[in-house]
Structure 1
């Protein structure tokens, strides 16, 4: 079976799907990624095909984080999505039997699947189906949220997102020769309606499945990026930890990890001194990941690194400080490491709050309010308050019992069989 995984955005929007693709591949299926050229090397390193999607994800993130006007953000996002829709259609036409789509591209993928007569399924890294149990990421419920306000807030969030696709979806439908009614159907499926199957790559230990979700919508458990440290990975034989990193870890107590992943592109010069000051105030050592911010921090107690697999690095850390993206948050919890969340945008405040509510880290420090004083105090608290590590370890044990990729594999094969 030829499976196309559609995912776009930041590295954290793509990397987890390499592990899911490995599981599908091991079951005998051919997997191709429809994603940005930025991630082509990472995808090909796992042995998967790449069908390149148009657009620059860094420009999209800059537009949403640089204080531009709301109109400018809308314009950049709409242009990005418009080009993306055409790209998904062209990618699927290269030979596809089933489409699996991440959250942001799901309305486009649903429409393309309908136009080409293909089965499709949502594979989301964040919840996007309104429910009574919690407000969706990006929502603004009243107070702590009641069942009514949680659902209403979630529906308002989807309504705001709908506006971004208002011109894109009809244009794509015309390109595919579909009637106007297909646009509404694609939108309803994106929301978990009309029986469209959706699996969330989130552990029920971190976010229990709401009881009022439709039966086709599940909380499957995490699927993890394929990394060089994973037994049986196609990448295993090529990677060893940098000697400089090994030496730094051996030279003192476990350090703290700091990194913002694909967030804050180009802000390394401003963030570097702040991080050095925060680490000094906390009384810890630190490993700082350069990321798209271009961080380059030096000092006796600080080491800057490039990409290092989180599954190798995080268990060796006293705590992890990051932007609270879905994948990085999951990696920190999987490692049993206390988390200091510094959310920037999108679903990150949701995961930051969830970590705090679960007792796996202190209160989040929003990126827009970041200071050396606040960050240093949060790091010190995360390291010294033993309850955070104890709770993180409990969650790590429960997360380790999940098999999210296996659950998706079974659903995909059932879906293909039902539509054969």
Structure 2
């Protein structure tokens, strides 16, 4: 079976989908993964075919304005305000990404499409190609449940109606951000007008299956989810081939109590020096050892006490 996977964002938005693609590849399927060009080598190094999407939107995220958006996450409403303020700047880029991803999907000629919500063209490509589509989420954000609000919303304890509303609100916010671009793309490619933008339903009203790539031990699957939604567990890379850690880390691990890992991966704020200072003080206040991983610049190397290692 030919599988087309599309995702967009930072390393954390890409690596789980590469892991899934590698598992599908090992099971005998033909897998193409479309994502930002900055991850082309990463995709190909794991044996997957690569579908081109440009890097320009991520370049905006790397600016001070973009980092402020990622850094200040004091509630979903503040994030929404800052996101809407950037839409005029990123709108044309969204349309180019829609078309580039479509070109990759068309060339793949898949039997199935699996998409990350940031690559929201997935259902429309599937409709054009007349193939099944699956939404793959790194955390719960669209499927309504009365058991808890969507991450980022306050837990106001207003009951199930409020909790369900938070997920519907996120779906609506996606429509505000992406709906115009999707409508234009559909018109350009001869698809009928969509009555409303909906991440959970195809244009004909059919439910889109939803996979949630995290453990039920971290968040139990809600009892009121529809059959179309499920929690699969994490999609991890096979790290067994990497060998033992560097001697510096092994020596640190054997020198005392189990340390706390602190790292922000590919997420980088505007003031990594200050963030590093906050992390160091927190570890010292908690009286625990720590390993700091600088990643893509979220933390920085500096003089540290013996109880903390920076790599």
Q: TM-score range by the shorter chain?
A: 0.7 to 0.9
1:203-238 CA distance string (max 9 Å, x none): 2333333333322222223222x1432xxxxxx1x5
Aligned residue number for residue 5 of structure 1: 5
Of residues 180, 187, 191, the one that matches 2:193 is 180
Alpha-carbon separation, structure 2, partners of 1:240 and 1:79:
46
Aligned residue number for residue 239 of structure 2: 228
Range moving further from structure 2, 278-287 or 52-61? 52-61
Pairing 1:101–2:125 present: no
Give the match's secondary structure for 1:94: helix
Give the match's secondary structure for 2:40: helix
Pairing 1:202–2:214 present: yes
Contact 1:138-1:157 within 8 A present in 2 as well? no
Aligned residue number for residue 264 of structure 1: 268
Aligned residue number for residue 155 of structure 1: 168
Aligned residue number for residue 36 of structure 1: 36
Give the match's secondary structure for 1:93: helix
Task: Give the 3 Å change call, closer, same or farther, for CA 278–205 of structure 1 in structure 2.
Answer: closer
Alpha-carbon separation, structure 1, partners of 2:307 and 2:16:
31
Task: Give the 3 Å change call, closer, same or farther, for CA 48–87 of structure 1 in structure 2.
Answer: same
Where does structure 1 lack aligned partners over 5 or more consecutive residues? 230-235, 306-420
Alpha-carbon separation, structure 2, partners of 1:76 and 1:248:
46
Task: Give the 3 Å change call, closer, same or farther, for CA 278–48 of structure 1 in structure 2.
Answer: same
- How far 1:29 sits from its partner (Å)? 0.2
TM-score by length of 1: 0.63
1:318-342 CA distance string (max 9 Å, x none): xxxxxxxxxxxxxxxxxxxxxxxxx
Aligned residue number for residue 26 of structure 2: 26
Contact 1:99-1:121 within 8 A present in 2 as well? yes
TM-score by length of 2: 0.83
Task: Give the 3 Å change call, closer, same or farther, for CA 46–188 of structure 1 in structure 2.
Answer: closer
- How far 1:163 sits from its partner (Å)? 0.4
Aligned residue number for residue 75 of structure 2: none
Task: Give the 3 Å change call, closer, same or farther, for CA 66–214 of structure 1 in structure 2.
Answer: closer
- How far 1:38 sits from its partner (Å)? 2.4
Alpha-carbon separation, structure 1, partners of 2:303 and 2:32:
40
Aligned residue number for residue 254 of structure 2: 250
Pairing 1:275–2:279 present: yes
1:21-48 CA distance string (max 9 Å, x none): 2221122101121111222232222221
Q: How many residues align?
A: 293
Aligned residue number for residue 217 of structure 1: 229
Aligned residue number for residue 148 of structure 2: 134
Task: Give the 3 Å change call, closer, same or farther, for CA 195–76 of structure 1 in structure 2.
Answer: same
Alpha-carbon separation, structure 2, partners of 1:148 and 1:50:
42
Between Structure 1 and Structure 2, which shows a larger proportion of helix residues? 1
Task: Give the 3 Å change call, closer, same or farther, for CA 240–42 of structure 1 in structure 2.
Answer: farther
- How far 1:16 sits from its partner (Å)? 1.3
Aligned residue number for residue 295 of structure 1: 300
Contact 2:37-2:52 within 8 A present in 1 as well? yes
Task: Give the 3 Å change call, closer, same or farther, for CA 57–92 of structure 1 in structure 2.
Answer: same
Range moving further from structure 2, 289-298 or 124-133? 289-298
Alpha-carbon separation, structure 1, partners of 2:299 and 2:289:
20
- How far 1:296 sits from its partner (Å)? 1.7
